[in-house]
Amino acid sequence: MARLDAHSLFRFRHFPSTFTTTSTHRYLRLHVTKSDVSSSTQMSDNGAPHTVQVHPSLEVIGGGRDKYLPALKKNLEHPYNPFPLIGSNRHVETIFAAFYRSLPDVKFRRECLRTKDDGAVALDWVAGDHKKLPPLSPILILLPGLTGGSGDTYVRHMLIRARKLGWRVVVFNSRGCGNSPVTTPQFYSASFTGDLTEVIAHVSGRYPEAKLYAVGWSLGANILVRYLGQESHKCTLAGAVSLCNPFNLPIADEDFHKGFNNIYDKALANSLRRIFKKHAALFEDIGGEYNIPMVANAKTVREFDEGLTRVSFGFKSADDYYLHSSSADSIKDVCTPLLCIQAANDPIAPARGIPRKDIEENQNCLLIVTPNGGHLGWVAGNEAPFGAPWTDPCVIDFLQHLDRRLSETSSSHSQLNEAPMCTEGGLVAAEV
């Protein structure tokens, strides 16, 4: 639902609305013992078993652990070391990353996609890649957090890293976000996967021979995981990554109103109000259960959701909306290789909301929980404090592993861009 992206709260740069844009609970710490997560047995190329070591500062679980862990070995065998001072407090880290992380320069070519209900979303492709890259290049679809878009630093860093590997990248700006047009009296929500479904079908239709992957942050991660569970074995994505996913929205909503989190709540509400006021004319005389005055003056995300979001998507109340929009309920149905990365001290996506049991039982899922990181922070690793988050190398190594294995098998099995199989009796893990 809506309280999920602290980063967008702090956006202070203005991005032009032209089609081509240029960018110049209380603290929870997981105590993980070495015996809990220190190693995983995997077969080497010559058939001999070997052990993948995981540093005890990290929690790593999931039914896909043995299958995916070797690809992440170089990132997980070392301790997670947050940057001094900045990484010692979850709020400092969250705010520092939002304000001071560097913004890579990228030129975009914008495509506005008209949806079936006459709405519109904006797809930002890297300018010139449609001429430079071959049609078979793997494609990475990026889903920013609430009110976020292609101008956000965490999105740009992931984009740059993937492009260096020859991947085609497109940012999916939801309705009203990243200066995406709004053409109907409806925005988007944590529960709505319709626009993502159309975006994936559109991208797949444009590049039918390419394998598709997706990465989502915060609210974008919740939507992505819901999509994976909804589509299940029919999903055309070859792999996906979820970052800072709130997973359990009633829990996230509960923590969102505690202590310092009220700052995030007010900032996000301000961002939502600004988007709404740009398109307020669409909601004049709309009637029904909408409470437009509440929306226009919302001081919290809950007020915005109560007045508009839950009505637009047919929920009885904000609580009903949160209860039935949680991606935690979708994990058991995911048949696509999925990497989830969370921070144990995330103030907006509480660690106690992570569906650990379902992740452990799903052979297609792997979960990494870092002891620090805040929300969309992860100011650690070789590029800290101003460069890419600690998570980015893990994400790219995971996606490269999937793409490499699929490329190796596609010629003999003709299964390009197919998802793992599911049976009525349960999940059957993909051989990737």
- pLDDT score of 42 more than 70: no
Cα dihedral 294, 296, 302, 306, rounded to 10, equals 50
pLDDT in tens, 309-361: 999 999 999 999 999 999 999 999 999 999 999 999 999 999 999 999 999 99
- pLDDT score of 16 more than 90: no
Type of residue numbered 64: G
- pLDDT score of 213 more than 60: yes
- pLDDT score of 255 more than 90: yes
Beta carbons of 63 and 360 less than 8 angstroms apart: yes
Span 2-427 CATH architecture: 3-Layer(aba) Sandwich (3.40)
In the numeric block, which tokens belong to residue 319?
A: 């609580």
- pLDDT score of 26 more than 50: no
In the numeric block, which tokens belong to residue 216?
A: 């989502």
pLDDT of residue 225: 98
Beta carbons of 345 and 214 less than 8 angstroms apart: no
Active site residue 124: no
Of 333, 346, 392, 397, which residue is the catalytic one? 346
pLDDT in tens, 289-306: 999 999 999 999 999 999
- pLDDT score of 417 more than 60: no
- pLDDT score of 34 more than 70: no
Q: List, in sequence order, every residue forming a beta bridge with 122; answer none if it has no partner.
A: 112, 173
Mean pLDDT of 213-242: 98
Active site residue 36: no
pLDDT in tens, 367-398: 999 999 999 999 999 999 999 999 999 999 99
Active site residue 180: no
- pLDDT score of 17 more than 80: no
Of 189, 218, 271, 330, which residue is the catalytic one? 218
Mean pLDDT of 102-108: 98
Out of 175-184, 397-406, 417-426, least confident range: 417-426
Winning range, highest mean pLDDT, from 4-18, 41-55, 219-233: 219-233
Average predicted confidence (pLDDT) for the chain: 88
In the numeric block, which tokens belong to residue 359?
A: 């992740």
Count of other CB atoms within 10 angstroms of residue 291? 14
pLDDT of residue 52: 83
pLDDT of residue 176: 96
Mean pLDDT of 239-252: 98
Beta carbons of 213 and 310 less than 8 angstroms apart: no
Of 152, 375, 397, 403, which residue is the catalytic one? 375
Beta carbons of 338 and 240 less than 8 angstroms apart: yes
* Element spanning 368, H or E: strand 365-370
Out of 31-35, 82-86, 415-419, least confident range: 31-35
Mean pLDDT of 183-190: 96
Count of other CB atoms within 10 angstroms of residue 87? 26
